[in-house]
């Protein structure tokens, strides 16, 4: 028993030491970002990209190559054409991927990576502008570049101060800041984002609700008048759309055709269990949920997801600018789009 306790104590001590070390790693990387500064070179880099007619070509070697792929993807997904170019491949034929109206973003914390420096030397001979993200502008890459974004003296999270860790985090953060500032200046909006993210959860979240809803007024979603008895409201709904799968709720409108309430099948079940058949003779405006939460015609699927999660409701009316019902989006629609789980 004593031996088991000793082993448990050793494991606990090792976990505590590991947690403390992991926190130091995170703090070192966070400190590298905190020490970044945004000065005139950053603004010059933004203007350089904004004024180019071509793409942002990102290059780097080793860990910088991996970070560069992410930065290039950020540019591309936020409205700035971009691709990556491996410096070794560039020196063996792929240099033709760079056009004179492109801007090259070269990554090298040390600033003296031979392949990157050689590539940039050739590019500058052809007057291709180069933005460098480096540790210091007093480096081969810093001196060759059109604009140098300096990260400063970064202490790596690695205990030996060797493995690229904090420096790659700082490089990524600077690249993201550059990409997003350019995107903001381009006034890249939600509709633009949806165009370049048509697939996956992001694209589906940005779909207009009017495109996602199955139940539409005039097709398969009848409206009922607020003065109808519950029994008559259901009969009316069934007669207007015979043989059509009905939504799990009735949308109730006033004399002007404006949405004034919603009455769900769940409301009906609760009412029948409580009051029996006599409940069916109640005017629907007495038992409906008045002034329900709704979405406008410009709302996106993500807005519907937020309402479902926050209010725990399954059906949401969609109305026009005058509060006239257009349709109904329900939790099944959202599950079909795979933006919410059942």
pLDDT at 268 over 60: yes
Q: What is the mean pLDDT of residues 279-287?
A: 90
Residue 226 three-state SS: coil
CA distances from 188 to 32, 33, 74, 183 (A): 29, 25, 13, 6
pLDDT at 7 over 70: no
Percent of the chain with pLDDT over 90: 70
The pLDDT value given to residue 181:
96
pLDDT at 1 over 70: no
Q: What is the mean pLDDT of residues 338-342?
A: 76
Residue 257 region, left (φ>0) first, then alpha (ψ -120 to 50), else beta?
Answer: left
pLDDT at 3 over 70: no
What residues does CATH 3.10.580.10 cover in the chain? 209-336
Full 3-state SS string of 30-87:
HHHHHCCCCCHHHHHHHHHHHCCCCCEEEEECCHHHHHHHHHHHHHHHCCCCEEECCH
pLDDT at 23 over 70: yes
- Which of 47, 56, 34, 66 minimizes the C-alpha distance to 147? 47
User: Does residue 30 or residue 242 have the better pLDDT?
Assistant: 30
pLDDT-wise least confident of 116-120, 155-159, 177-181: 155-159
The average confidence (pLDDT) of the chain is: 90
What residues does CATH 3.40.50.10490 cover in the chain? 7-188
pLDDT at 224 over 70: yes
Q: What is the pTM of this model?
A: 0.69
pLDDT-wise least confident of 6-10, 19-23, 185-189, 241-245: 6-10
Burial class (CB within 10 angstroms; exposed 0-12, middle 13-18, buried 19+) of 9: exposed
User: Strand 215-216 and strand 147-150: pairing?
Assistant: unpaired
Class of domain 209-336: alpha beta
pLDDT at 66 over 80: yes
The pLDDT value given to residue 196:
73
Q: What is the mean pLDDT of residues 255-275?
A: 92
Render pLDDT for 183-211 as a digit per residue (tens, 0 to 9): 999 998 877 777 776 666 677 888 889 99
pLDDT band at 275 (very low <50, low <70, confident <90, very high): confident
The pLDDT value given to residue 5:
66
The pLDDT value given to residue 338:
85
Question: Quick check: 169 and 140 in contact, CB under 8 A?
Answer: no
Topology of domain 7-188 in CATH is Rossmann fold (3.40.50)
The rounded distance, in Å, linking the Cα atoms of 133 and 172 is 10
Residue 106 three-state SS: strand
């Amino acid at each position: 028993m004593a031996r088991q306790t000793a082993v448990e104590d050793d494991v606990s001590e090792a976990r505590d030491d590991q947690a403390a070390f992991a926190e130091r790693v995170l703090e070192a990387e966070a400190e590298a970002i905190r020490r970044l500064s945004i000065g005139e070179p950053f603004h010059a880099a933004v203007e350089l990209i904004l004024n180019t007619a071509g793409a942002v070509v990102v290059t780097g070697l080793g860990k910088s190559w991996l970070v560069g792929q992410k930065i290039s993807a950020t540019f591309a997904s936020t409205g700035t054409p971009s691709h990556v170019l491996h410096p070794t491949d560039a020196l063996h034929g792929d240099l033709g991927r760079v056009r004179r109206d492109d801007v090259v973003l070269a990554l090298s914390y040390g600033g003296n990576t031979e392949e990157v420096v050689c590539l940039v030397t050739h590019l500058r001979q052809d007057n291709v502008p180069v933005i460098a993200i480096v540790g210091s502008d007093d480096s081969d890459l810093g001196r060759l570049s059109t604009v140098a974004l300096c990260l400063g003296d970064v202490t790596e999270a690695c205990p030996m101060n060797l493995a690229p860790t904090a420096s790659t985090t700082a490089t990524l953060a600077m690249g993201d800041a550059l990409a997003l500032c350019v995107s903001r200046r381009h006034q890249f909006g939600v509709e633009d984002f949806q165009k370049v993210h048509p697939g996956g959860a992001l694209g589906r979240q940005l779909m207009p609700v009017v495109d996602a809803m199955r139940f539409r007024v005039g097709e398969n979603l009848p409206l009922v008048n607020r003065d109808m008895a519950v029994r008559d409201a259901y009969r009316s709904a069934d007669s207007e759309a015979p043989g059509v799968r009905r939504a799990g709720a009735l949308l109730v409108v006033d004399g002007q055709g404006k949405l004034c309430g919603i009455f769900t099948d769940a409301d009906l079940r609760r009412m029948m269990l409580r009051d029996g058949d006599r409940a069916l003779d109640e005017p629907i405006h007495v038992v409906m949920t008045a002034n329900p939460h709704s979405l406008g015609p410009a709302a996106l699927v993500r807005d519907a997801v937020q309402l479902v999660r926050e209010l725990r409701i399954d059906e949401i009316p969609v109305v026009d600018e005058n509060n006239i019902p257009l349709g109904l989006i329900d939790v099944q629609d959202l599950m079909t789009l795979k933006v919410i789980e059942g």
